[in-house]
Amino acid sequence: MGAFQLGIGPVQALACGPAQLRLTVDGERIRRLELLLGHAHRGVVGLARGRDPQAAAVLVGRIDARAAVAHQCAFARAVEAASALAVPPGTEALRRAMTELEQLAVHLHHLGRVSRCAGLHGAAGRAALLREAVLVACAEAFGHRLMLDAVAPGGLARLPDPAGLAALPAVLDRLRNGLPALRRALLDDPAAVRRLGGGTPEPWTRCRTRLERIGHGLGLARGLLAEAGEPVAIRPASASTAPAKETGTAEEIGTAESAGGTVWHWVRLEAGLVAALHVHDPVLPAWSMLDELARGLAVEELPLLCASLGLSSSGADQ
Amino acid sequence: MSGTAARARRHPPLSMLHLQGGGCGGCGLEIEALLADGRLDAVGLLLVEAPRHADLLLVSGTVGRNLLDAVLATWTAMAEPKWLVAAGACALDGGPFRDGYAVSGGIDQHLPVSLVIPGCPPTPDAVLAGLRLLLDALRATPDLSPPPPPARPALPPAALPHRRAGGDSSGG
Ligand code: SF4
């Protein structure tokens, strides 16, 4: 029997955000998957050009909410390097702690999504509760659940709340205590193993990797929060920390870690303004793996695979 | 028990389709948080994936020029009566991206919006509070008709559909 083609999207719930797929199917098996991205394109780079770095920071934080802190930090680091702006070590440690907190929340988000996709409602509920605890704590410490508008070139966009900062280690404890049950519900439970590892082992192994990363991230976050020390040492970026090389031209690269991998920003400053910007978000390479991984799967197994890869169009389309 | 929860038990649930446009996806994350903790069910909202099955269309994120056709087709495919909710700054007016060449303004320029939930992103509580307002109004007046279509003319379609986000050398 010949192959059929099947269109999906751009309005569908396969990924986080709009995307269009064309499947070539043989019976129920996917033979080939073609991808059409770009529906979430907003022209971030075009909008950032000509802005001063502090204003552009608001924009780059909104490239992808699953890597909001990572994009803010990578951009801030590139600007800081290009304008010889020194960041106090305590502030830098706190920013790294924030990227760790973001990764914890995002891994938990993806685990919850995978669980719901696989009908594992107990695991989904556990992941959602733990994630919510992180977001509430971040809102108290940094003024925003997803830590948007939190980082700025030169340091932080606003002074963190001391009581909120002091409460963060307790949230890390809560996660550490809640993790074994989530691990059991996803990796050991026979029904979960069957559902997550049914068509392809990918969803199960991705869950295991995410759980390992959470365990690792908890330790890192704790250490970095201790390094950040007393909140009094953390000063928000202000007008006085404007780029030092006001008149010259400088190019630099900044990087930061997100749950999907490393985010890169290359920036060129001219006369203190963003003249050019290039953004690398690791979700784009993840999309490119989809065809390879989907081949041979049944069509109805595709949503689970997509959820486990943590695909989003925001970061890919920008 | 709140008024909405009490009424939700007396009325059949309404179904809602969540259409995630562009933007950073922050609004989508916060809406998904409501799904995860079952609070949508509690107010009598059922999430569906087919436009034909939906009473409410919840739009979050930017409606880019290349997504507009798909959004309009989704709305057209929904049966009457139907209501549209715009959640977050992007859906409202393009939010932080409103000046971009790729974004075709707020959804209200193209379709009749019944409810706007501001925020960047709105918290799950804010989304729920907004949806409750609408549900309460709908349930109090079952024959409540959706607002008339907007007077403003729709944007002309982009000259070329934007196929790929990339180097972004097209200015803007
Ligand atoms: S309104 Fe804000 S949070 Fe929501 S998608 Fe747009 S930029 Fe992201």
Tell me the DSSP string of A232-249: GG--B--GGG--S-SSSE
Interface predicted TM-score (ipTM): 0.92
Give the Cβ contact number of residue A150 at 10 Å: 25
Mean pLDDT of A288-306: 93
Q: With an 8 Å Cβ cutoff, are A314 and B25 in contact?
A: yes
Ligand 1 pocket, residue A145 CB under 6 Å:
no
Ligand 1 pocket, residue B120 CB under 6 Å:
yes
pLDDT band at A46 (very low <50, low <70, confident <90, very high): very high
Nearest CB to A314; choose among B18, B24, B102? B24
Q: Chain B residues with CB inside 8 Å of A38's CB?
A: 66, 162-165
Mean pLDDT of A32-54: 94
- Cβ-based contacts under 8 A for chains A and B: 151
The reported pLDDT for the residue numbered B160 is 38
Residue B84's alpha-carbon distances to A163, A193, B18, B134, in angstroms, are 40, 40, 10, 10
Domain range list for chain B: 16-139
Q: Chain A residues with CB inside 8 Å of B123's CB?
A: 145
Least confident of A9-23, A69-83, A165-179, A209-223: A9-23
Least confident of A13-17, A50-54, A256-260, A312-316: A13-17
Nearest CB to A65; choose among B29, B37, B170? B29
User: Is the CB of A107 inside 8 Å of chain B's CB atoms?
Assistant: no
Q: With an 8 Å Cβ cutoff, are B29 and A17 in contact?
A: no
The reported pLDDT for the residue numbered B139 is 83
Atom of ligand 1 at shortest range from CA of B26: 3
The reported pLDDT for the residue numbered A198 is 82
Average confidence score pLDDT of chain A: 92
Q: Chain B residues with CB inside 8 Å of A39's CB?
A: 21-22, 64, 66-67, 70
What is the model's pTM? 0.90
Nearest CB to B37; choose among A128, A148, A314? A128
Instruction: Go through the domains of chain A in sequence order and give each one's CATH number.
Output: 1-39+282-318 (3.30.390), 52-85+243-281 (no CATH), 88-239 (1.10.645.10)
**What tens digit of pLDDT does each residue of A5-42 get?**
998 989 876 777 899 999 999 998 999 999 999 999 99
**What tens digit of pLDDT does each residue of A283-292 get?**
999 999 999 9
Ligand 1 pocket, residue B96 CB under 6 Å:
yes
Instruction: Round to whole Å and give the CA distance between A66 and A69.
Output: 8
The phi and psi torsions of A198 (rounded to 5 degrees) equal: -60, -70
Compute CA A80 distance to the chain's CA centroid, rounded to the nearest angstrom.
22
Instruction: Round to whole Å and give the CA distance between A283 and A288.
Output: 9
Ligand 1 pocket, residue B44 CB under 6 Å:
no
What distance in angstroms lies between residue A148's CA and the mean position of ligand 1's atoms? Answer: 10
Encode chain B (172 residues) as per-residue pLDDT tens digits: 455 555 555 677 899 999 999 999 999 999 999 987 888 988 999 999 899 999 999 999 999 888 999 999 999 999 989 999 999 999 999 999 999 889 888 898 999 999 999 999 999 999 999 999 999 888 887 666 666 555 554 444 443 333 333 333 333 3
Q: Does the pLDDT at position A224 exceed 50? A: yes
The reported pLDDT for the residue numbered A112 is 95
Instruction: Round to whole Å and give the CA distance between A66 and A105.
Output: 9
The reported pLDDT for the residue numbered A235 is 55
Least confident of A168-172, A240-244, B69-73, B79-83: A240-244
Residue in B20, B24, B93 to alter for ligand 1 test, most ligand atoms within 8 A of Cβ: B24
Instruction: Round to whole Å and give the CA distance between B20 and A16.
Output: 8
Mean pLDDT of A140-166: 94
Q: Does the pLDDT at position A101 exceed 90? A: yes
Second CATH level (architecture) for the domain B16-139:
3-Layer(aba) Sandwich (3.40)
Which of B16, B17, B18, B24 is the best residue to mutate to test the A interface, defined by the most A CB atoms within 10 Å of its own CB?
B24
DSSP element (H, E) containing A221: helix A202-228
Percent of the residues in chain A that have a pLDDT greater than 70, as a whole number: 94
Asked whether the beta carbons of A18 and A10 are under 8 A apart, the reply is yes
Atom of ligand 1 at shortest range from CA of B21: 5
Compute CA A314 distance to the chain's CA centroid, rounded to the nearest angstrom.
10
